[in-house]
Homo-oligomer: A and B are copies of this chain.
Amino acid sequence: MSDRILSLKERIGQMIVVRASGYLFDQQIRYPVWEPVNATLKYWLETLHLGGVILLGGSAAEIALRSQQLQSWSRDNPLLIAADIEEGVGQRFSGATWFPPPMALGKIAEKSLTKATEYAKEMGAITAKEALAIGINWILAPIVDVNNNPDNPVINIRSFAETPEIVASLAQAFILGANSYPVLTTAKHFPGHGDTSNDSHLDLPIINHDHDRLEAIELPPFQAAIKSGVDSIMSAHLLIPAWDAEFPATLSSKILGEKLRQNLGFQGLIVTDALIMGGVTKIASAAAIAVRAVEAGADILLMPPDPIEAIEAVYSAVQGGTISEARINDSWQRIQRAKEKLGQRHPSLESLSSLAAPQALEIVRDILKDSQTVSGNLPIQATQGRNLIIIDDLLNCDFLDRSCPAVTIPRQWGYQTQIIDRSTFNQSLVSPETTLLQVFIRGNPFRGSAGLGEETKAIYQALLKTGQIQALIIYGSPYVFQWFRQQSGEIPYLFSYGQQASAQKIALETIFEWPTSGKNQTDTFI
């Protein structure tokens, strides 16, 4: 780290974390509106003394190279490199370990809190180890929101549980595990995003609870996270009239300054949720939002639409006396302290080989097995038929390809794959065939809904009438699963929190009877 005195603008630059594609090449950029080309990114890093970068997209191997590249562009200014890896590094960056959604641990906690906290601690430790191995030093997890609204379209199974006690315990264990490595953790989204039925990526949700309810349900997991030494806390884009009728949490000095910094005594980094989200962009100009977030108490502005505009706006506010220079220095010192914790780490081919270790994958399997729900006469006998897979969006499913178990295992038993999404729903799919039905639906940002569409419900009810469904597997949402369970009658079913390959394999191994004789070999080789 450079020892020279930073200028005011450079100290403000340290408060900015920009978004970048995790891919190395411009032509791989998937969201050109949000992700700068390399020439721009390099220029920013060379000249603005930015605090860091949040990466989206790319595989683990690519991130290992990308993080080196970014650190080299940033020269003597070590970057925070952040990622939304709530389900482990493999959730975002293929090749690394991908855990089931946090709520799978909450399910296990209902039977054994001890077991669930052990898993959470392992999940934190493995996530931290793998993040550092590819150059990510800031984990934007755990989520400590209490998901007490089944219709929550954006938090949903990203939350550990529906009660503050379980969320607090599992979040603490995750942070404890992660803290065995020199990496930053983040409790989010302050003061609690669990009871919303709309998505702050799109609009500003309003939380109409009173002070007592917020203290009783929403705050305890944050208090627990602070007690466990969480390094940063991310603000939510939520309007909470009981605490601040004017500003959403991200822009509220009453919430960030008084509640979080003073009352809860949090001394770590306060980071905003992404400043390009509909929850704040609809309120004011990007420049005004940047200034207001710093006034409110944020140390880091995450993904402002334009970092230069944000820096200039905050700089002008200091020059104009709206923000004091002491306020900037406070944030800058917190950022310095956080960076000192990290030391200097560069991924190597050797450290990369520690990813997706057999022990880590074994823990993933254990969590998946322990959180799975089954019912009916299982295992079933495989008979040739149809493997009907229903997903939300063909163009947005990183858990499905031609080599994934949901496709290959039924194919080995002679099932023909048929995949439909909301663009291809069709009643005539009710053909009189033996059908294995696999449904992959869960709440996710931007989806706009936590649950099933009417078309899926109609298809299922039509298939039910024909009596052709041999077995049903739901991957993802326990709320979606509830609906199917109410309909299903005698059909054997299985619910898994996971959607990834390991979840598919465990589910199908549970569903089918495995004969000792050889299977059909249908592998091709190009």
User: Which residues of A approach B to under 8 Å, CB–CB?
Assistant: 19, 23-28, 30-34, 56, 58-62, 64-66, 68-69, 72, 84, 94-96, 201, 274, 276-277, 303, 349, 352-353, 355-356, 361, 393-396, 400-403, 407, 416-421, 423-424, 426-429, 445-446, 501, 521, 523-526
Closest to A63 in B: B61
Interface contact A521-B61, CB-CB below 8 Å = no
Closest to A364 in B: B27
Q: What is the CB-to-nearest-CB distance from A327 to chain B, in angstroms, rounded to a whole number?
A: 29
Interface contact B356-A26, CB-CB below 8 Å = yes
Bound complex: CA A84 to CA B27 (Å): 22
Most buried by B among A72, A393, A419: A419
9 A-B pairs with CB atoms under 8 Å apart are A27-B356, A31-B524, A32-B523, A59-B59, A65-B349, A72-B349, A277-B525, A418-B424, A419-B421
User: How often does this chain occur in the complex, in copies?
Assistant: 2
Q: What is the CB-to-nearest-CB distance from A182 to chain B, in angstroms, rounded to a whole number?
A: 23
Interface contact B274-A525, CB-CB below 8 Å = yes
Point out the residues of chain B lying under 8 angstroms from A424, CB to CB.
418-420, 424, 426
Most buried by B among A68, A445, A525: A525
Interface contact B426-A95, CB-CB below 8 Å = no
Quick one: which of B303, B402, B429 contacts A395, CB cutoff 8 A?
B402
Q: A31-B403, A393-B402, A419-B394 are in contact. Are A24 and B525 (CB under 8 A)?
A: no
Point out the residues of chain B lying under 8 angstroms from A523, CB to CB.
31-34
Bound complex: CA A489 to CA B60 (Å): 50
Interface contact A95-B27, CB-CB below 8 Å = yes
Bound complex: CA A120 to CA B525 (Å): 28
Most buried by B among A27, A28, A66, A72: A27
Bound complex: CA A10 to CA B393 (Å): 52
Bound complex: CA A429 to CA B30 (Å): 29
Q: A24-B95, A394-B394 are in contact. Are A403 and B65 (CB under 8 A)?
A: no
Point out the residues of chain B lying under 8 angstroms from A445, CB to CB.
526
Interface contact B349-A61, CB-CB below 8 Å = no
Interface contact A419-B423, CB-CB below 8 Å = yes
Quick one: which of B23, B356, B428 contacts A426, CB cutoff 8 A?
B428
Bound complex: CA A393 to CA B353 (Å): 34
Bound complex: CA A445 to CA B526 (Å): 8
Please name 14 further chain A to chain B contacts, defined as beta carbons within 8 Å, in addition to the given A61-B62, A303-B525, sorted by A numbering.
A23-B59, A27-B95, A30-B401, A30-B403, A59-B61, A59-B62, A62-B62, A65-B65, A274-B525, A395-B419, A396-B402, A419-B421, A419-B423, A424-B424
Q: What is the CB-to-nearest-CB distance from A305 to chain B, in angstroms, rounded to a whole number?
A: 10
Point out the residues of chain B lying under 8 angstroms from A526, CB to CB.
56, 84, 201, 445-446
